[in-house]
């Protein structure tokens, strides 16, 4: 009995009422979901239509749903921290608890919120934008999603079972080593990220091949929409950067499980090696998430200014050169390491160089808007507010890149303000803009504009109120990851202001949830398929797009091909006769990605607790799934012409 009690108290996270409350509500939510699904007999539907789907549009929607949930969790973490810091000497969170929260907040926001939101948009938009019927490898795509999903589940489980990681979002050793973190939290970190990271790597490969090989005839590389270009740049960065992460985490795993000494202070190891490696992935990683945001802004600017994007070629050049340059700046994260003036000078200069292509893009967007008839829709407002925000965030980044000055800024609130300015004002605003912009394509109705504008203003005002004071706190000496501070430091007032701003953004998030709920219920169906008067191919088909996307594959002749088609039609030029319908080749659904990823989760869980009786069945399950899949030959089918004709007639209101 006592051993069971002992085991349970170590296995389950126990603690203050706050945690207990959260755990109880997680439990109740799960029971409620199971109940609703059973009551409405939806299990079969869930399995057939969603869990086994290989349709890129549905996979995209599942990514988006998960990332919104993760935004909620990461946001709650953020507000807990801001509450603790609101006043000097606050006793809301303990030091240990604060450490866990900034760690999970950072990991969740970057890896389980920003990345899946981005992958969701890739999935929803890219095939439609290049005139393809799906991604190059639909089965792999589904596997990527489920690996992300189960990896995220494993990571989030540490909240209830075993204990959360607490060594910061990049888990520097020796703190993250066995001696610094003897608990299982760091194991959850390693395996949660490892499993989902392999999914990310596969997504990168999938979209590179899709973009390079599956474009509609006539769409040369220099005729691709800018979001497609930015996706290509981001995915190239993924396939070069993510293997570094995989290896680094693997080495950390070796250190923790087998007493290897890669990153220890003794026996020939060196913790600084980890810090170099993790930033060789970590710096490109921030460009992986920002490049697609640049693509989204480009699409939106030209749509709502009703003009061709200014400087198309320079935009492509800028995207590509940023993706290359991002691999040569990593040491700017530790100028204080002591590698000497020459090394620091190199990394300072490479960092500053990135400002050049970024500036080129800013001017391109401004010139696109110049003399345009701008429509102030919500996506456009996110875009317009992004520009000054990113310029200031970028400038403070250049300040940080001045190596001698960084000895002052390093690990202070100045840094916290800088990276949130580019991550919120750039990445988050970009993905919000993209979500609002492509929402009608996903679901066939627009999001409510009024509520969206409330969310927009709350996020924007909240952002400046929250983060501007932090620059000054940083200059005043307040360091990051500090759970409390003394009254005498004089940091109280600015911290209080900052917390108020944090909550304004929280209210902004509630408005977004309200906006989605309201729109699902009340917004009218968009029957045009082209509610924004768009320019690229995705707007040429009905919304939501039919399973096969394009009844006949379009032929492209211009950069903004759909816009050109509309111009021609307006001028009375008849469309070229549509080619005859042909049976459409489609991939079959499969349950293997879901099951196989679940087995990875089981194995990961076993690794976390060092329980071979989970590891072995888990890995065996993975191997069996691979075997089964390699003997499946019947993986595709054809949609007959009749069915395509019927679907098209129904979607286009009778005129086939
Ligand atoms: C509602 C908006 C947000 C607020 C109020 C907020 C607040 C905070 C706070 C208080 C910290 C801890 C600072 C410290 O004690 O060192 C932090 C850290 C961090 N945040 Fe946020 N955050 C927000 C959104 C985001 C977003 C959108 C991202 C990424 C896409 C992000 C990424 C990070 C990262 C990577 C860290 C560092 C964690 C670490 O030190 O290991 N945050 N944030
Ligand atoms: Cu960096």
Model confidence pLDDT, tens digit, residues 445-499: 999 999 999 999 999 999 999 999 999 999 999 999 999 999 999 999 999 999 9
Residues touching ligand 1 (Cβ under 6 Å) are 75, 78, 81-82, 102-103, 105-106, 109-110, 114, 168-169, 416, 420, 423-424, 427-428, 466, 480-482, 502, 505
Find residue 525's DSSP bridge partners: 445
**Alpha-carbon span 395 to 417, nearest angstrom:** 12
pLDDT at position 18, please?
72
Alpha carbon distances (Å) from 191 to 107, 135, 376: 13, 28, 44
pLDDT tens for 315-347 read 999 999 999 999 999 999 999 988 889 999 999
pLDDT at position 15, please?
67
pLDDT at position 4, please?
78
pLDDT at position 25, please?
80
**Alpha-carbon span 377 to 299, nearest angstrom:** 14
Helices (H), 530-579: 561-570
pLDDT confidence band for 20 (50 / 70 / 90):
confident
DSSP secondary structure string, 457-503?
HHHHHHHHHHHHHHHHHHHTTPBTT-----GGG--HHHHHHHHHHHH
The pLDDT mean for the chain works out to 93
Q: Distance between the two ends of the chain, CA-based, in angstroms?
A: 72
DSSP secondary structure string, 386-450?
HHHHHHHHHHHHHHHHSHHHHHHHTTBHHHHHHHHHHIIIIIIHHHHHHHHHHHHHHHSBPPPHH
Instruction: Note the pTM of the prediction, 2 decimals.
Output: 0.94
**Alpha-carbon span 650 to 162, nearest angstrom:** 53
**Alpha-carbon span 517 to 317, nearest angstrom:** 40
Question: Is the pLDDT confidence value at 12 over 80?
Answer: no
* 51-579 homologous superfamily: Cytochrome c oxidase-like, subunit I domain (1.20.210.10)
**Of 237, 299, 291, nearest in space to 435 by CA:** 299
pLDDT at position 315, please?
95
How is residue 533 written in tokens? Answer: 């008067």
Please state the three-class secondary structure of 98-159 as a single string: HHHHHHHHHHHHHHHHHHHHHHHHHHHHHHHHCCCCCCCCHHHHHHHHHHHHHHHHHHHHCC
- What residue's CA is closest to ligand 1, atom 38? 106
* Ligand 1 geometric centre to CA of 235 (Å): 25
Q: In the chain, what are the domain boundaries?
A: 16-50, 51-579
DSSP secondary structure string, 49-66?
IIIT---HHHHHHHHHHH
Residue pair 451/384 in contact by the 8 Å Cβ criterion? no
Q: Which of 390, 420, 429, 502 to mutate to test the pocket of ligand 1 (most atoms within 8 A of CB)?
A: 420
**Of 19, 55, 41, nearest in space to 548 by CA:** 55
**Alpha-carbon span 148 to 72, nearest angstrom:** 17
Ligand 1 atom with the smallest distance to the CA of 479 is: 16
- Residues whose beta carbons lie less than 5 angstroms from ion ligand 2: 283
**Residues constituting the chain:** 656
């Amino acid at each position: 009995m006592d051993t069971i009690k002992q085991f349970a108290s170590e296995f389950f996270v126990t603690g203050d009422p706050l945690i207990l409350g959260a755990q109880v509500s997680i439990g109740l939510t799960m029971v409620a979901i199971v109940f609703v699904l059973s009551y409405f007999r939806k299990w079969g539907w869930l399995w057939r239509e969603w869990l086994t789907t290989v349709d890129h549009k549905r996979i995209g929607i599942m990514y988006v749903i998960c990332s919104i949930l993760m935004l909620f969790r990461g946001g709650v973490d953020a507000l807990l921290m801001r509450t603790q810091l609101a006043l000097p000497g606050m006793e809301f969170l303990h030091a240990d608890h604060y450490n866990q929260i900034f760690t999970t907040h950072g990991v969740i926001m970057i890896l389980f919120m920003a990345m899946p939101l981005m992958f969701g948009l890739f999935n929803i938009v890219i095939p439609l934008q290049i005139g393809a019927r799906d991604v190059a490898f639909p089965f792999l795509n589904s596997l990527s999603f489920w690996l992300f999903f189960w990896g995220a589940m494993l990571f989030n489980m540490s909240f209830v079972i075993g204990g959360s990681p607490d060594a910061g979002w990049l888990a520097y050793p020796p703190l993250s080593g066995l001696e610094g973190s003897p608990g299982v939290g760091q194991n959850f970190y390693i395996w949660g990220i490892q499993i989902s990271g392999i999914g990310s790597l596969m997504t990168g490969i999938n979209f590179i091949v899709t973009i390079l090989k599956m474009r509609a005839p006539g769409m040369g590389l220099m005729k691709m929409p800018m979001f497609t270009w930015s996706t290509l740049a981001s995915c190239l960065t993924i396939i070069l950067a993510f293997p570094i992460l995989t290896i680094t985490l693997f080495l950390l795993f070796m250190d923790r499980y087998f007493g290897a000494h890669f990153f220890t202070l003794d026996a020939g190891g060196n913790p600084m090696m980890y810090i170099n490696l993790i930033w060789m992935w970590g710096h490109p990683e921030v460009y992986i998430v920002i490049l697609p945001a640049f693509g989204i802004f480009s699409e939106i600017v030209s749509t709502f200014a009703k003009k061709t994007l200014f400087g198309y070629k320079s935009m492509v050049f800028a995207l590509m050169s940023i993706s290359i340059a991002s691999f040569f700046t990593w040491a700017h994260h530790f100028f204080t390491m002591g590698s000497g003036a020459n090394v620091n000078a190199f990394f300072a200069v490479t960092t500053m160089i990135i400002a050049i292509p970024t500036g080129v893009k800013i001017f391109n967007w401004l010139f696109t808007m110049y003399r345009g008839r701008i429509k102030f829709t919500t996506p456009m407002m996110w875009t317009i507010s992004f520009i000054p925000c990113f310029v200031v965030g970028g400038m403070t980044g250049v300040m940080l890149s001045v190596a001698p000055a960084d000895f002052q800024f390093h690990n202070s609130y100045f840094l916290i303000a800088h990276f949130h300015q580019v991550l919120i004002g750039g990445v988050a605003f970009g993905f919000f803009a993209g979500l609002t912009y492509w929402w009608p394509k996903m679901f066939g109705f627009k999001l409510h504009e009024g509520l969206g504008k409330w969310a927009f203003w709350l996020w924007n005002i909240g952002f400046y109120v929250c983060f501007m004071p932090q620059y000054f706190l940083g200059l005043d000496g307040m360091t990051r990851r500090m759970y409390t501070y003394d009254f005498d430091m004089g940091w109280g007032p600015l911290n209080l202001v900052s917390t108020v701003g944090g909550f304004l953004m929280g209210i902004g998030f509630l408005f977004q949830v309200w906006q989605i709920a309201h729109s699902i219920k009340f917004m009218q169906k968009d029957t045009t398929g082209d509610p924004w008067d768009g320019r690229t191919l995705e707007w040429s088909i009905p919304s939501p797009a039919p399973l096969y996307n394009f009844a006949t594959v379009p032929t492209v002749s211009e950069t903004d091909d759909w816009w050109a088609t509309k111009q021609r039609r307006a001028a009375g030029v008849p469309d070229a006769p549509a080619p005859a319908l042909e049976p459409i080749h489609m991939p079959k659904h499969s349950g293997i990605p879901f099951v196989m990823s679940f087995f990875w989760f089981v194995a990961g869980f076993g690794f976390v607790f060092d329980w071979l009786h989970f590891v072995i069945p888990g890995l065996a399950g993975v191997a069996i799934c691979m075997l089964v899949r390699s003997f499946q030959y019947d993986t595709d089918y054809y949609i007959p012409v009749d069915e395509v004709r019927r679907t098209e007639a129904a979607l286009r209101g009778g005129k086939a």
